[in-house]
Amino acid sequence: MSNQLEKLAKLPLRDNLRGIEPYGAPQLDVAVLLNVNENTHPLPEAVRQAIADDVADAATGLNRYPDREFTELRERLAAYLGHGLRPENLWAANGSNEVLQQILQAFGGPGRTVMSFPPTYSMYPLLASGTDTTYIAGERSEDFQLTAASAARQVTSAAPNIVILCSPNNPTGTALGLDVVEAVYEAGRASNSIVIVDEAYAEFALAGTESALTLIPGRERLIVTRTMSKAFALAGARLGYLAAAPEIADALRLVRLPYHLSAVTQATANAALKHVDALLATVEDIKGQRDRIVAELKRLGLTPAVSDSNFVFFGGLEHSGHVWQGLLDAGVLVRDVGIPGHLRVTAGTEAETTAFLEALEALVGGTARPAPGLEG
């Protein structure tokens, strides 16, 4: 045990935090960073300037606490989402991670459970530990799919207080059909379960993939979480949000810290939401690079999953750890999500994507066989 871990072990840490690892996606100084599903395009200059101007204005009022109800932001988020949602259906926090944490603080906690379906977003078990909520790992089929029948059966049997469905799912990238959300919501009726659909990557969905926002009317236990970290290219601003029945926001008011959204954060997000079209202009380009990655990986004989997101999860690697290291040596950082034979890569700019594909081909090109149907 390292010196620091020994010191930590002596502290009166809560038992359920002992021995667990903190969130730790590597932050390395590498030319091509494709490991945490950011939007790698820089902000358009006009938007950057608009944010800087509005933040400068907000700075004149920094001696006062910010609007605790972030009224303008909720209005702008409701207008962006549409679907008949009103400001009272919206809530926001510092990243959708904080939104999820607040939901677990309000509806989870000691003696309560939260269920999700691994492989899925690695923060869910950590948010469970942090809020002293017991984590239940549901199951997917061998090809990482989750059907309505299987999910509903598992929710009925586990009767969790909270279910988190990640759609599109991180790390696999594939969206769930709304039939899964509806089935889980119905299965959670007996246990009065809160059902969260984490749609962090919704803007990158393939044509025909529907958002769970359409299911909110009449479902007071359903919460859809979103973020400005991905499609909006604002990961550094830390702004996540949710849409749900207004009483969900009332519950979160009980656990949020006073004035949790700083005036600078509100000004940044509001300025960005005045320029939605300019900000989302990169989404089509990213989807194009994502589809290019999928096609090229198939050509290399690898097995990419269907992706509704800005990243691609792929298998078929003999030694994924070696390939991860080889890519890093070539200046490309991707994500090893701990599933043997698989890696996950974010779709970057055209140049970044080319760097990844060329480095990968140099590593596996000679050994991989074409996937069935893709010969020649």
Ligand X SMILES: Cc1ncc(COP(=O)(O)O)c(C=O)c1O
Which among 85, 356, 41, 339 is positioned nearest to 226, based on CA atoms?
85
For the CB of residue 262, give the shortest distance to ligand X in the complex, in Å: 15
Is 96 among the residues that bind ligand X (CB under 6 A)? yes
Q: Which stretch binds ligand X (CB under 6 A): 47-55, 92-100, 102-110, 257-265?
A: 92-100
Q: Which stretch binds ligand X (CB under 6 A): 68-76, 94-102, 271-279, 324-332?
A: 94-102
Contact 23, 122 (CB under 8 A): yes
Is 154 among the residues that bind ligand X (CB under 6 A)? no
Q: What is the DSSP string of 222-278?
A: EEEEEESSSTTS-GGG--EEEEE-HHHHHHHHTTSPTT-S-HHHHHHHHHHHTTHHH
Contact set for ligand X, span 225-264 (CB under 6 A): 227, 229, 235, 240
Helices (H), 26-147: 45-59, 71-81, 96-107, 123-130
Is 166 among the residues that bind ligand X (CB under 6 A)? yes
For the CB of residue 53, give the shortest distance to ligand X in the complex, in Å: 24
For the CB of residue 208, give the shortest distance to ligand X in the complex, in Å: 21
Total chain residues near ligand X (CB under 6 A): 13
Is 310 among the residues that bind ligand X (CB under 6 A)? no
Contact 163, 195 (CB under 8 A): yes
For the CB of residue 38, give the shortest distance to ligand X in the complex, in Å: 8
Among 39, 89, 101, 170, contact with ligand X (rule: CB under 6 A):
170
Give the residue closest to ligand X by C-beta.
95
Here the tokens at position 258 are 């006073």
State the DSSP H helix or E strand holding residue 332, giving kind and residue range, or none if neither.
strand 332-333
Contact 164, 297 (CB under 8 A): no
- Comparison of 30 and 36: residue with beta carbon closer to ligand X: 36
Helix (H, G, I), strand (E, B), or coil: what is residue 130?
A: helix
Among 33, 34, 35, 37, contact with ligand X (rule: CB under 6 A):
37
For the CB of residue 4, give the shortest distance to ligand X in the complex, in Å: 26
Among 107, 121, 144, 356, contact with ligand X (rule: CB under 6 A):
121
For the CB of residue 199, give the shortest distance to ligand X in the complex, in Å: 8
Among 184, 200, 222, 237, contact with ligand X (rule: CB under 6 A):
200
Give CA–CA dist 44/84, Å, rounded: 29
Contact 148, 183 (CB under 8 A): yes
Angle at 361 between CA 355 and CA 364, to 5 degrees: 140
Q: Rounded to the nearest 10 degrees, what angle do helices 178-187 and 148-158 cross at?
A: 20
Is 294 among the residues that bind ligand X (CB under 6 A)? no
Give CA–CA dist 276/311, Å, rounded: 22
Q: Which stretch binds ligand X (CB under 6 A): 66-74, 95-103, 106-114, 281-289?
A: 95-103
Among 97, 133, 211, 320, contact with ligand X (rule: CB under 6 A):
97
Applying CB under 6 A, the residues found at the interface with ligand X are 37, 95-97, 121, 166, 170, 198, 200, 227, 229, 235, 240
